[in-house]
Structure 1
Amino acid sequence: MKATAKFLMTLALFMATTTLSAQNTEKVSPTEVMNYLQECGVFFLATVEADQPHVRPFSAVTVYENHLYFLTGKKKDVFKQLKVNGKFEICGLKRNGTEWIRITGRLINDDRVEAKQFMLDKNPGNKMYSATDNNTAVLYIQDGTATYYSFASAPRTVKF
């Protein structure tokens, strides 16, 4: 009986804390999140196919029209997986090894040539893509949530 009461008290405290923190989530500019990812250099994007998660490295990121954008190819599995299920998770680790970010939301394809060209202009190293080819895909985050972690402080969760 004591264990059950202790468990219920812990659960109630957890639920109260979670509800309170969800109500107090700070809204930030996607530029803040982009800058953090750029400090990481390489970050990892996870998708799912059926019941199997898939993770791959990314580095091309920019903000366009107040949305955080990423670049990939339509022929790649990552794009095919996101077409079926737009939910994703990103994890990026700063080079100091003690700070990281996790990002969730939904990735939405933007087929406009202007969005593709903007992304390519901001990430000129991606020579294999063109704004007018049938392969280039730029995707932006909808309903983004980022949580900043550090070994030195409590996590900070934001919406963007």
Structure 2
Amino acid sequence: MEEVYEFLKNAKTWYLATVDEEGNPQVRPFGAQNIFEGKLYIQTGLKKKVAKQMLSHPRIAITGMYQGKWIRLNADAIYDARIEAQQSMLDANPGLKHMYQAGDGNTAVFYLKNAVAEICSFTEAPEIIRF
């Protein structure tokens, strides 16, 4: 899991895919990740469509590139309403603090469960990471 965290962190921008109410895929850029209590977390706002989509259909996909390699990650996004999890995310990603505050009713953190990540390149066999 730590290797996946480092890959996403180094990629800086990675892409999250969800499913909307009509079953259509939706993809958008993200860039906030954190490890809290041994789980990989991502963050968004509860008022955003992406949060509503993850709450309705928790199966997500993430992709990104870094140094000629790319990651493909599939997981269940599990909502964690605890203020401690929110604060940990904001402390790890201080750039979010101008938009979010722990306990503000909008900050939403999700941890990844049943995750399978593949780190791939054109020259090496894919590395599979499960967590």
Specify which structure has the higher proportion of helix: 1
% identical aligned pairs: 43
Counterpart of 1:22 in structure 2 is none
Counterpart of 1:21 in structure 2 is none
Mapped pair 1:139 → 2:110: yes
Q: Which amino acid aligns with 1:84?
A: S
Q: Which amino acid aligns with 1:88?
A: I
Displacement of 1:157 in angstroms is 1.2
Runs of 4+ residues deviating >3 angstroms:
none
Alignment of 1:1-160 (within 5 A): 30-49=1-20, 50-94=22-66, 96=67, 98-126=68-96, 127-160=98-131
Tell me how many residue pairs correspond in the alignment.
129
- Which structure would you say has the larger Rg? 1
Q: Deviations over 1:10-50 (max 9, x none)?
A: xxxxxxxxxxxxxxxxxxxx221100111111000000112
5+ residue gaps, structure 2, are: none
TM-score by structure 1 length? 0.78
Displacement of 1:124 in angstroms is 0.2
SS in 2 for 1:142: strand
- Aligned-partner Cα distance in 2 for 1:107–1:51: 17
Q: Deviations over 1:110-132 (max 9, x none)?
A: 00010100100000001210001
5+ residue gaps, structure 1, are: 1-29
- Aligned-partner Cα distance in 2 for 1:118–1:105: 21
